Amino acid sequence: MLGINLQGKRAFVAGVADDGGFGFAIARALAECGASVCVGTWPPALTIFETLLRRGKLDESLTLSNGEKFSFEKIYPLDAEYDRWDDIPPEIRSNKRYENRGDVSIQGVAKRFMEDFGDRSVDIVVHSLANGPEVKNPLLETSRSGYLGAVGASAYSFTSLVQHFGPLTRPGGSFLALTYLASERVVPGYGGGMSSAKAALESDTRVLAFEAGQKWGHRVNVISAGPYASRAASAIGFIGKMIQYYRHNAPLAETLNADEVGHTAAFLSSPLAAGITGTTVHVDKGFHSMAVPIDVESTLPND
């Protein structure tokens, strides 16, 4: 039987702070296939995440299909809005949720990763990060700082991850990010420059696939996932309606399950996908292929 085998592989999943999002589902899928998994967690959410783990509140979600519970090999405090320690403003460094956490920049985490595991010690790097400070604002009402903040946190952070983890990744490594259909279609209400950030992320994926492939032999892909009611997505404010709309209009009239994204990520991270790079893979029940909604007749005026 042809199966996904990630035994002996180590993964770093950036953007895991609970068990309710795509990042956690990807981490669990990688563990299910035999990989050891490290995660990066936003410092303001890290204490709560560590407490949930310590008290066993996530035990059910950590249980694999064989009945065993997996644990994260290492949890790193990571704020992917900052590439280097010097980029972190003094008021952030001294914040009680950041102090005593060390260098939480992308470069800092990469350095700590190498200190913990040595050179060429990772095989899979996953970017499950997005933030738009003005996501509820229409683009016409988005400030320059809000727009650039969305692009920096949601798109450039992936480039920075590849820059800093590329040299640490074994040959044939896999880099993977998460995007959304707003990169190529208009989604009213998904504002603040986030649609532009996702478009940049997909464009960067293609360029990074070329550059990282030529330089290190790594693959770079992105998953375009359908709407899912994670904590981060709930900040948009209309995620419930989006899920309903997708379920009604997609070729597969079903609600997306986070594990479906996790399984796709495991495949793309495995040797089975050795020939796939620079690609956007849609995991949205086929919604991206639809040009008009199913009930379009009821929305059109009579002739």
Please give the C-alpha separations between residue 53 and each of 47, 56, 69, 272, in angstroms, as whole numbers. 10, 5, 12, 32
Structural domain contains residue 3 = no
Q: Which residue has the tokens 């020939």?
A: 275
The number of domains in the chain is: 1
Average pLDDT, the chain: 94
Residue 300 pLDDT > 60: no
For 28, counting Cβ atoms within 10 Å of its Cβ (0-12 exposed, 13-18 middle, 19+ buried), the class is buried
Joined together, the tokens standing for residue 223 give 């998953």
Percent of the chain with pLDDT over 70: 94
Structural domain contains residue 151 = yes
pLDDT tens-digit profile of 158-169? 999 999 999 999
Residue 299 pLDDT > 90: no
What's the whole-number mean pLDDT along residues 217-231? 90
Structural domain contains residue 293 = no
Structural domain contains residue 302 = no
Q: Which residue has the higher pLDDT, 297 or 219?
A: 219
Structural domain contains residue 181 = yes
As a residue count, the chain comes to: 303
Structural domain contains residue 4 = no
Active-site residue flag, 190: yes
Range of the domain at 20: 10-286
What is the predicted pLDDT for the residue at 293? 83
Active-site residue flag, 180: yes
Q: Work out the pLDDT band at 238, boundaries 50, 70, 90.
A: confident
Angstrom distance (rounded) from CA 132 to CA 229: 17
Residue 301 pLDDT > 60: no
Angstrom distance (rounded) from CA 10 to CA 229: 28
Q: Work out the pLDDT band at 18, boundaries 50, 70, 90.
A: very high
CATH classification of the domain holding 41: 3.40.50.720
- φ, ψ (nearest 5 deg) of residue 126: -120, 130
Query: Which of these is catalytic: 190, 228, 245, 246?
Result: 190
What's the whole-number mean pLDDT along residues 263-289? 97
Structural domain contains residue 64 = yes
pLDDT tens-digit profile of 193-221? 999 999 999 999 999 999 999 999 999 99
Helices (H), 17-155: 22-32, 43-54, 59-62, 90-93, 106-117, 144-151
Q: Work out the pLDDT band at 291, boundaries 50, 70, 90.
A: confident
What is the predicted pLDDT for the residue at 294? 83
Structural domain contains residue 189 = yes
Query: Which of these is catalytic: 98, 147, 180, 246?
Result: 180
Residue 235 pLDDT > 80: no
